[in-house]
Structures are given as C-alpha cells and as structure tokens.
Amino acid sequence: MDRVLFGDNQFFAVNHMSEERARAQAIRFQELPAIIDVLDAAYEAGIHVFMCTTHDRVSDICDHVRANPQLYSDFTFYPCMPYAHKYANAVTEYGMIEALRRFLPQEGALAALLKGGVSMATKDVEAIVRMLIDAEMKMFKGLKTPIIFLQNVVTDLILGIGARDAFQIFADHVQERYGAQPGFITMNMPRLLDVLEDVGIQNPIICASINKMGFRMCGGIKIYEEAISSRKFRPVAMSVLASGAIQPREAIEYVCRQKKIESIVFGASSRNNIQQTIKLIKEYDSM
C-alpha cells in the first residue's frame, strides 16, 4: 500500500463534527469539475490512491479517469463497499426484493437464483452477496483496484450478529474475481482482528480510526496502541484529525509515532491542505 491515501468524505457531505460544514461541502462539490480539481491537486502532490465509497457519483469520477488515461496513468482506486445509504434508501422506497432486483448485475439474476433453490429464508445468501459485490464493482471496470474494502457499517454489523463466515465470503470473492486484496473498515479494530484471525484471514488489512483523542476508537486508545505494536496486521489510519478536533501537526505526529501503521488516509478540500498534510507526514516519517 502507498503511505498516503486520499479519501472522499469531503465530496459527499460527510463531516462527523459539523453539519454546517457538511452542507457547505455538499454545495461546493455538487458538480463534478469541483471534485476533479481537488483530486488533480492530490494527484499532482504525489497521492495516487483514491480510497472511495461506491457512491453513485464515484461512477462519474471513474468515467473521467477512464476517458483521460494519459493524465491518470498511476491513478488507483481502493473501493469501499457497500455504500449503505444507497441500499437503505432503495429498500425504503421499493422493498427488499425489488431493491435486490435493481442492484443485481444482470436482469433476472435474483429470479434465477431463487428458482435454483437458494433461499433467503434459510440464510443461504452467499451467491447474492457475490453478485452484489459484482454490482458495486461495475463502475470500476478497466481501472486499478488492488484492494477492495468492506465498509464499517457492514463490517461492524457482521461483528455484532456473529456472522463471521461473511468475512471469508467477501475475502474469497474479491481475491478470486478481481485479483484484489480484501480490506476491512471498522470502528472496533481489536475485536475485528480477533475474528479475522479466527476465520483464517491472516495479516489482514484493517482501516480504523486512529487518533490521539480516541475519537471513534471502540475500546480506547491503549488497546489500539497495544494491538498496533504487537499484532500481525496491516493498519490503515483514518480520522487522524478527529474531524478537525485535533490540530494537523499534533495529529500527524501522533499517528506517525505508531510505527507499524502502513498507510494514512485523509480527505481535504484544498490544494494547500493536501500539501500541508503530505509535508507533515514526510516530516514525521523522517524522524
């Protein structure tokens, strides 16, 4: 993995501390050129990985990158799926079965699946899960996607209900179908690490909130620091600024001090903030 990854929260009105700031970002990035300008600034600054949700508007970004291969020869996507709001809205509007019909990658797939004896009533949903992953991945066709992440909404739901085999289903499918490594986003990194080891996923890529104030770190800072320093996995740090609650220099210094953190993902809305964050990471890495 690259050391620095660029996230997408700022593009889709996600701010965990300020609804007012989220609304302002939604207005600013309602048109694709505004998003592309910021992605170009990150790319020119040396960040070549875009870690993004499967939000519908990411499809437009994918189209832009595909249409300009000479400009984005090293551009890489790390898809994070599913985009939960998309499915929740569809289920609310259409109901469960019709929502599945709309998202499955080929017409009639759900009907064929049910006809073949796969019953959701008996929780035999592995084939549906695989097809839904394929549906999410359609927008990235022809693009570089070496790591595919399971979003924290689903990761932590699986942890909560104990359906741990779902992690192996996800991991197997992204490896077999896309030649990609599976990654997992969570708000409970220590617990997830335990479960992934139990199901046989070794040295997993885990993206979690890691910051010096314990923001969105289930179990607390101490248990995270112990896991990072002593256990075998590939940590990706997100929410390092705690949605702006920690000053950048202080935040980056803390994260870089956790020496086994492999990558840092952050979002920014301006060229100056992108360059400043990269500068700080390089400064503390060099120490």
Q: Are 139 and 62 in contact (CB under 8 A)?
A: yes
| pLDDT at residue number 83 | 78
State the Cα–Cα distance between residues 216 and 148, nearest whole angstrom.
22
DSSP string over 65-105: HHH-TTT-TT-EEEEEE--HHHHHHHHHHH-HHHHHHHHSS
Structure tokens at 113: 């699946």
pTM of the model as a whole: 0.88
Task: Extract the tokens encoding 144.
Answer: 């570089």
Neighbours of 119 (CB within 10 A): 11
Distance, in Å, from the CA atom of 187 to the CA atom of 192, rounded to the nearest integer, reads 9
The structural domains of the chain, with segments of one domain joined by +, span 4-77+138-225+259-282
Rounded Cα gap, residues 141 and 244, in angstroms: 35
Look at the domain 4-77+138-225+259-282 and name its fold: TIM Barrel (3.20.20)
d(C-alpha 16, C-alpha 175), whole Å: 32
For residue 66, how many C-alpha atoms fall within 13 Å in the half-sphere facing its CB? 11
Please report, in tens digits, the pLDDT of each residue of the chain (287 residues total).
Answer: 999 999 998 998 665 555 676 677 778 888 999 999 999 999 999 999 999 999 989 999 999 999 999 999 999 999 999 876 666 565 567 675 665 666 665 545 555 554 444 444 444 567 778 888 998 999 999 999 999 999 999 999 999 999 899 999 999 999 999 999 999 999 999 999 999 999 999 999 999 999 999 999 999 999 999 999 999 999 999 999 998 899 999 999 999 999 999 999 999 999 999 999 999 999 999 98
Is the Cβ–Cβ distance between 265 and 236 less than 8 Å? Answer: yes
Helices (H) and strands (E) in the chain, counts: 13, 8
Distance CA 233, CA 230 (A): 9
